[in-house]
Structure 1
Amino acid sequence: MTRFASPVSALIICMNEADKIGPCLESIDFCAEIIVVDSGSTDGTLECVNGYIAKGYPIKLLHRDWSGFPRQRQFSLDHATQPWCLSIDPDERVDDALRQAIMAATRTTESGVNGWYIRRRDWLKGYGYAHPWVLNNRLMRLFRRDVATMDLTARVHESFVVPGETRTMESGVLLHRREISIEGDLARANIYSTLKVAMMVERGKKPRLVRLLLSPLGNFLKFYVAKRYFLCGRHGFFYSMSVMIYSYATEAKFYEVLEERDQV
């Protein structure tokens, strides 16, 4: 019997994820603790989570008004009690191979590894999960609770900071099931690029012409060719183009923001 047996606190932040969070919770039923931090759902998310609590899932349901991704994630970490933590989003699922890999990695106390990168396989609208030969992104998602921290200065693409030895899970993936239209993807690129520019300004970074000229095309080639999204047909092209547009928007807005500031 492996349900709720692994010394892992799963960390979830959410708002209005009623149509996704159920399968996510079911995929992490090996975790001894599940921390769910909700920031004001009104779509039935809370009722769904409470339904799993009634089934015996070891869920700690907490509320925190939205304060940005980093602070919400740090809040979830602050309430974890297990030696290991697994950061997972409501639209993600742990597949069977990853489940076994996580259970094996957290079973021993002898290993000096403090964190594990996990590969995530994205869902492309109209296509399905990316082709098996696509090179999936690696994300720091499994780590020892007592050494991890969150960079609270990040506004976007936040991740837990884990010192010491880290490795990559060689088997299994996080299945990222998010249905996003092209319109929605472009809207998100617009929002995220604005957040990233604000973070770059705060950190005192400077725009560079070479980055404006080369970064968009470079990111397109990275995803479409190097990561092999061309194997997903036109849907892989759409995905790679959205990355290119996000990169262009970030670099162009960076110049615009600094020029406006200099004119004040």
Structure 2
Amino acid sequence: VGPWTRLPGLTAHQLVSLHLAVYLAYYGTAAWLRMAAQAEPPPKSDAASLVSLFLSLSGLPPSSSTAGHVFQVEPDGVYLSQIVLGTMVLWGVPSALMLPSLRSPLAIARRLGLAYLAALGALGLWTTDAVLFFGPAVLPLVPLSVLSLFHPKHQQWAKWVRAHPAIIRFRGVLNALFLLLFVPLRLLWLPAVMVAQVIPDALALRTMPKGELPTTEDLQGWPFATVASAAAVGAIFASAQLSWAALLTTQACARCRKERESRERKRAGFVQAAALV
């Protein structure tokens, strides 16, 4: 009898999350690589062109006077948004409401926010950014989906891990992999794209003449608040990465301090034992 029989709901949730993260990361990263291969870096070296160069290297088209790619429909972005929307509505939000270990205002708000962003992407807004946010940015969630099972608050799983040294080593590998993916993708890249591309595009919409708005029939009538809200929610998610990084740093420091204290206690024990000999 393992912890999966005592925590079946949590285990099922994390397995689905792992499957979703692997698929989104694989499909979205492949789509992003195709976009990046088609991007052309600007020839100039001024500040604006440096921003465009960064966006080109990020696989995103540079912003223009017509708010760049806000209304540009990227089929892969729509597809990824549809997957995330369906998963959040049918699985993520209900799981957060039903499972005690996931039932927290922050978890529910995060899933609702993802569902909202995915809904806008499924309707054709910000779909080039959706390739990034629902693709390469999901890579750190692959090891995290497994690590979340081993969290100390899930006592059955934590106890099972402590009883298996091989799983402890596997957890260490996953921790290292998560940090290697989290720092460049979610701590640095994601906020940088928000600042360099998404927020400027949302602000550009505010001052854009009506004649420059897209004339496609299914994009008419989008109020500024709806379009800009995606940038606002995305900025909140990007800012959350900073608090998450601070939490991880605090936990890592606490773990290092605990290990150092444990080594000091062992050393003191050896000294006392030697003194008694």
Higher RCO, Cα 8 Å, sep 6+: 2
Larger proportion of helix? 2
TM bin (shorter chain)? under 0.3
Larger proportion of strand? 1
How high is the TM-score relative to the length of structure 1?
0.26
How high is the TM-score relative to the length of structure 2?
0.25
